[in-house]
Each structure stands twice: as structure tokens, then as C-alpha cells.
Amino acid sequence: MLFIRVHLLILLAVYSCSLCYAEDGSKLWLRYKKVSNEVAKSRTVISHSNHQKALLAKQELDNFWTGPSVELKVEKAQEKLRDGFTIEEKKGKIYITSHEPIGVLYGAYHLLSLQQTNQSINGIKIQEIPSYNIRILNHWDNLDRTVERGYAGYSLWRWEELPHVISPRYEEYARANASIGINATVLNNVNASPEILSSEYITKVKALAAIFRKYGIKVYLSVNFSSPKVLDGLVDSDPLRPEVQSWWKEKVKKIYKEIPDFGGFLVKANSEGQPGPQDYGRTHADGANMLADAIKPYGGVIMWRAFVYNPTLEDRAKQAYLEFIPFDGKFRDNVIIQIKNGPIDFQPREPFTPLFGAMKKTSQMVEFQITQEYLGFSNHLAYLAPLFKETLDSDTYTDGNGATIAKITDGTLNGNKKSAIAGVANIGEDINWTGHHFGQANWYAFGRLAWNHSLSSEQIAEEWIKMTFTDDDEFVLPIRDMMLDSREAVVNYMMPMGLHHIFAFDHHYGPEPWADIKGGRSDWMPWYYHNADSLGLGFDRSPAGSDAVSQYNEPLRSQFAQIESCPENLILWFHHVPWNYKMKSGNTMWTELCEHYDLGVKQARDFQKIWDRSEPFVDSERFRDVQSKLKIQSKDAVWWKDACLLYFQTFSCQPIPYHIERPIHELEDLKKIKLNLKHHN
């Protein structure tokens, strides 16, 4: 009997220990270890400011910093730092200084990240000034807690419980964002419900703003342009009518009374059926300026989305440029035009939107999609820093070379005082926040690039790996390389060489290049984009086609216009390419296409091998979770390869090259696959 009791105690102890070390991903990259009492007594952390944010910085360092003593200073003379900071080691003590209290908190998190990644702080002297003033997450969260294009469960915001019940995840969310310098959040979907502006919901938003405030995060709201009419029964929502203008001014006044540091509004207008000023014969400038005037006395900002297109014979890729260029210089100075990175819609690869740099008198911000709407949802590993960098580092050749999108949007090129960058969040209620453990890296990467857009994809990946898993090089190096290859792998097995928007209708998961939905708009159909026929494949945007190339500056205009000089990773974006066109490799276009799809499958399978070899370095729970996701990704890669090659083969009338892995599906069987993923939750 004694033996059984002892045995049970041992089992309970082992089980309890395993629970202590169970890893569910909820800690993200903030895997700090609490300092011992002995360490805490050996050093001091002093804050010379009693501001809440500075005291929070002191608390974080008190709890987790194991190095020498630290002094935190807020010095108004350091105005050039804005909300940045300096960290300097002198005579065995660390000094963190900022112009703003929040900068001291950012400095504390930076110091802890140096500790996490085992970097030396001896003689350290660094200065960090953020690239953008506003570093904002856009949550596409609905008031019923579903999330449009969300793949990590329901929304974090429990609207039905607010303001009386406060989830502990609200503060965890704010802390995670502050640790990477994100300082703003849009709480609700750009397809906004007018109800978010009701008194009931403003009270709920106020409760969230109070939690986020001490972490330096301002709250913004997406607004429905028809709110005056819908909420309070105005005849219409015409932005030039005094009654409508008065309604917005009064609404803004009430919001700022409850939330004095409210950030402003994000607006999706006259796009995909959303209401807007054009409903009343007014312009985007009329609508944006009306809201800007209402919010300006409080220091608020209007972020007006340039994602607009209508059913028309005009190439969809050209429409935002054509619609916004006439209004350059006509927007108020507290309006920022929010522009998606590509001219279509967050595709795995797009050229940059030509609007960047073309509006020289208007503040512009780039909008990235962190959530993987077109990149396998939360099932596929796709590290997005290379995609973000590809856009930010692109030269628009506005007034000569060196006019990168980074310089245009951070304000340095045109001297704009307000600069911003946005990312559509991939965060949900799942315990690991993002549905896929590696999805956390994209949240992290967006924050790091919003803070410093000169960082490399490689550097960010290494930081995240070391902070999230281990700093052992045997793990870090192969996993880093896997991450760096992953976005290109997805492009290869989904839409290589500039193919785009050939996903399944509506939910965008899986291939459906044959889709032709009865009654559907042509610019929502894959055939509109791939144009496969007996002659070739791709969308002709050359001067002989839609002439979308004319929206780019030279030398890009000529480079994109000529099939011989067009980058081959975009050749099917800008040209309808003959099946037998000779590529730089010597292959025909058809053979090259086949090889890209085959390579993507091989890369996905290699990721499985790399991850399986990493098992000794990873806790069993996260190892199994990622392993399971990689199995799905490999199966999906084959699905994509077979569907696209078998379908396009019906036009090329050529055999799939015999060195390419044979299809394992029948085309007719693939066409029968219908997934019910409409709500994405």
C-alpha cells in the first residue's frame, strides 16, 4: 500500500512538473523569467519619473532584468527622440532615457529583448527612434465577435461583457504590442457597423482604452459613412450638408469626452458596397475632409482607405490610382490615405501600388495584411517579413531614384509631419493568439518593421526565434532559413511568376482557377486575372493591353512594359505570355510554370523535415502543433500544384514535363471540392 501511495505521489509530481513546462504559445515572445530575490537585491531599478508608463517600465525591469542597476529618465530636452529612447551603459550602470514616458517603457522592453537573445550590454550605447509616428493594428473584428479574415478563433473583444467584465487578455495584448512598439489599434472591421458609434459601445470602447493607455496604445475606430442616417435618422449622410457635419462634430465631441486620447477614424468608403460620399455625388476628399474637420480640434487623424474598385471594363489594378490622383493636395493635413501594398488585394506577390509616390502632396501610409487571407490561413507557415520588406524597399522613382515606399510613408521624402503604417491583425481568441505558432512571427515582424523599417527579415526572424524558442544555433539557423524561404515557397505552389487571385471564390482557401460563379462580378473571378487560353497565360497590362504600366514612373514603366525586361516573378502580372515563350532559364513558360509548382511542393516537404529534426529543442506541445500544421501545408501544396497544372494544361495542350512529380488527383475530382469556410472562425 505504501509503495502504491509513493508511486502515485511520484506520478503526480511528474504530471505537475509537465504542466509547469507545458507550452501552449500564450506567452508569445515575452518569455521572461522572474528574477530571484537574490538577483533583485543585487541591483536597483530607479525611475526618476512617476508617470504611469515609466513606473510600468520599472516594474518590468524589477521583475525580469538580471543585469546591472538601471536608471530611467524622462527628459523633455530630448525632443528629437520622440517616443524613442537611448540605452547607455556607464560605469556598470544602465541608463534608459526618452523624451516621453512611453519611450522609457519601449527602452525597458528593448533591454529585456537583448537579455533574451544573450547580447552583451557592456559599453552599450544605442539610440532608437521609430520610423513611423503611428504604428497601428487594424482588427477586422465584428461586433458579434466573428473576425473577417480571422483564423485564430473569435475576437478578443467580449463586447457583451464590457465594460463590466475585463478579460486579462486585454492587458496581455497591450503588453505584447508595447513590447514591439505598436502604439495604436483599430478595434473593429473596416466593413463597419454604425452601432460602434452608439453611446453603449463608446462606453465599452472607453473601458478598453483605459487598459491600453498605460501601454501607450491609442484606440481608433472604423466608421460607417452612413452612421448619421442609420443611427439617428438623418435624411442622408451627405458630407456637404450642415446637418450631417454637425452630427459628426457632436459625435466626435462625445467620444473625446469619454476617451480624451482617442486616435481617430479609419474609413472604408465606396468600396465593395460600403457607403461613402460618392453616394451623394461627392468625392473622397469631400468625405475625408468633413470628418477631418470634425476631429481636428482634438488632434485626431482620419485614415481614408484607397482600396476602391467598381464593376467596370477598366483593369481593377488601375482603379485606385485613377480615382485618387485627381485629389492630390486636396485632403486636410490630418488625413492620411491608407494604401494596400499591392494594387489588387494582398496577393502572395504583387508589384507595389503605383499610388505610392504619385500623390506628392498627400500623406500616405502602407497597409499590410498580417492575417493570411491569401496565404493558407493559419494552416500554412508563411513568414511575411520578406513580403513587407519587398514593398518598403521598392523604389518608386518619384523625382529620381531613392524614393522608396519606406521613405514616402515615413515622411522623410516629402516632409510629412504625420506618418503611419498599418497591419491587418491575425490575432484571435486562440490560446496561442494567431492559430499557428509561426503566425506570431508575422505580428512580431510587423511591429519591428513599423518601429524600424531598415531591419532585415533575417535579423527579425533570429530575434523572434531566440525569444520564442531557444538561442541554440542548431535550432536557430535551420529554422531561420526555413522561415526566410517560406513566403517564396507559398508563392511557388500557389501562384508563381505573377499569377494572382486564382483562389476559391469568397473564402480564398485553396485553388479554383476554373471558377465562374453564376451572377458573380467578373473582377471577382479567377479567369479575369489569369486569362488562360490556347495562346498563353497572364494579364496583359502592357501598352497593348490595359496599360497599367503607364501608372509607374520610369524606368519601371518601360521595364514592366517589355516582356523581355519584365521581372520574371511578375511576368504573368504584366503580360499574357505564350506557352512556348523562352524564359531566362532556357525553359518554355509552360515548363517554368510546372517547375515552380513542383519546387513549392518540395519546399513544403523540406519544412517538415527541418521541423522534425528540431524536436530535441522544442517542447512537445508546440512541436506537435507545428508538425500537424506542416502536414496540412504539404497536402495543400500538392492540391494547388495538381489543380493549377491540370487546369492550365487544358489550354497549353502540353504534357507536364516528365521530371516533374506526377499529379495524384483528377481535375474533375478537384473541381468538385467545395469548402464551407465563409465565416473563417
pLDDT tens readout for residues 172-182: 999 999 999 99
Residues 532 and 571: beta-carbon distance below 8 Å: no
Distance CA 568, CA 584 (A): 8
- Angle in degrees, CA 374, 377, 382, rounded to 5: 80
- pLDDT of amino acid 9: 41
Question: Above pLDDT 90, what percent of the chain?
Answer: 91
pLDDT, position 400: 83
CA–CA separation, 419 vs 301, rounded Å? 11
Over residues 379-388, mean pLDDT: 98
> CA 329, CA 312: separation in Å to the nearest integer?
27
Specify whether the CB–CB gap between 408 and 364 falls below 8 A. Answer: yes
Q: For the chain, report the end-to-end CA distance as a whole number of angstroms.
A: 51
**Mean pLDDT calculated for residue range 214-219:** 98
Lowest mean pLDDT among 389-398, 410-419, 478-487, 521-530: 410-419
Q: Is the pLDDT of residue 21 over 80?
A: no
| Residue 568, all three cell numbers | 520574371
Report how far apart, in Å, the C-alpha atoms of 430 and of each of 25, 169, 254 are: 10, 11, 34
CB 388 within 8 A of CB 445: yes
Among 507, 188, 272, which residue's Cα sits nearest to residue 373?
507
DSSP β-ladder status, 335-340 and 364-369: parallel
Contact (Cβ atoms closer than 8 angstroms) between residue 384 and residue 487: yes
Domains in the chain, please, with CATH?
34-128 (3.30.379.10), 134-468 (3.20.20.80), 491-539+576-671 (3.90.1330.10)
Mean pLDDT of the chain: 95
* Beta pairing, strands 93-98 & 85-90: antiparallel
**Can you point out the beta strands (E) in 243-282?**
264-267
Closest CA to 324 of 307, 340, 342: 307
CB 319 within 8 A of CB 310: yes
What does the chain come to in residues? 681
Task: Return all residues near 29 (Cβ < 8 A) that are at least 6 apart.
Answer: 116, 176, 179, 440, 444, 464, 467, 468
* Spatial distance between the Cα atoms of 577 and 132, rounded to a whole number of angstroms: 40
**Residue 120 near residue 136, CB atoms below 8 Å:** no
What's the average model confidence in pLDDT over 386-392? 98
Residue 282 has pLDDT above 80, yes or no: yes
Q: Which 8-state DSSP code applies to residue 661?
A: P
Using H for helix, E for strand and C for coil, what is the string for 594-651? Answer: HHHHHHHHHHHHHHHHHHHHCHHHCCHHHHHHHHHHHHHHHHHHHHHHHHHHHHHHHH
CA distance 295 to 256: 9
**CB contact at 8 A, 443 and 136:** no
By annotation, the residues acting in catalysis are 272, 345, 373
Is residue 534 within 8 A of residue 645, CB to CB? The reply is no
Question: Do 509 and 503 form a contact (C-beta atoms < 8 A)?
Answer: yes
Digit-coded pLDDT (tens) for 435-452: 999 999 999 999 999 999
Question: What is the mean pLDDT of the segment spanning 470-482?
Answer: 98
Residue-wise pLDDT for 370-380, tens only, equals: 999 999 999 99
Burial class for 241, CB neighbours closer than 10 Å (0-12, 13-18, 19+)? middle
- Helices and strands (H and E) in the chain: how many: 21, 15
Q: Is the pLDDT of residue 318 over 80?
A: yes
Give the residue-averaged pLDDT of 345-372: 97
Residue whose C-alpha is closest to residue 145's, from 175, 189, 177, 186: 189
**What DSSP designation does 34 have?**
P
Is the model's pLDDT at 15 over the cut of 50?
Answer: no
Q: Lay out the sheet containing 85-90: strands in order across.
A: 45-47, 70-74, 93-98, 85-90, 125-128
Can you tell me the mean pLDDT for 80-101?
A: 96
Residue 203: CB partners within 8 Å, gap ≥ 6?
162, 163, 258
Q: Report the pLDDT averaged over residues 551-555.
A: 97
Q: In Å, what is the CA distance from 10 to each residue of 3, 20, 22?
A: 11, 15, 18
What is the three-state SS of 486-520?
HHHHHHHHHCHHHCCCCECCCCCCCECCCCCCCCC
Question: Which pLDDT value is given to residue 77?
Answer: 84
Q: Is the pLDDT of residue 10 over 90?
A: no
**Residue 626 and residue 634: Cα distance in Å, rounded?**
12
163-172 LR contacts (CB < 8 Å, sep 24+): 163/203, 163/204, 163/206, 163/207, 166/207, 166/211, 169/429, 170/208, 170/211, 170/212, 171/211, 171/215, 172/26
CA distance linking residue 497 with residue 341, whole number of Å: 18
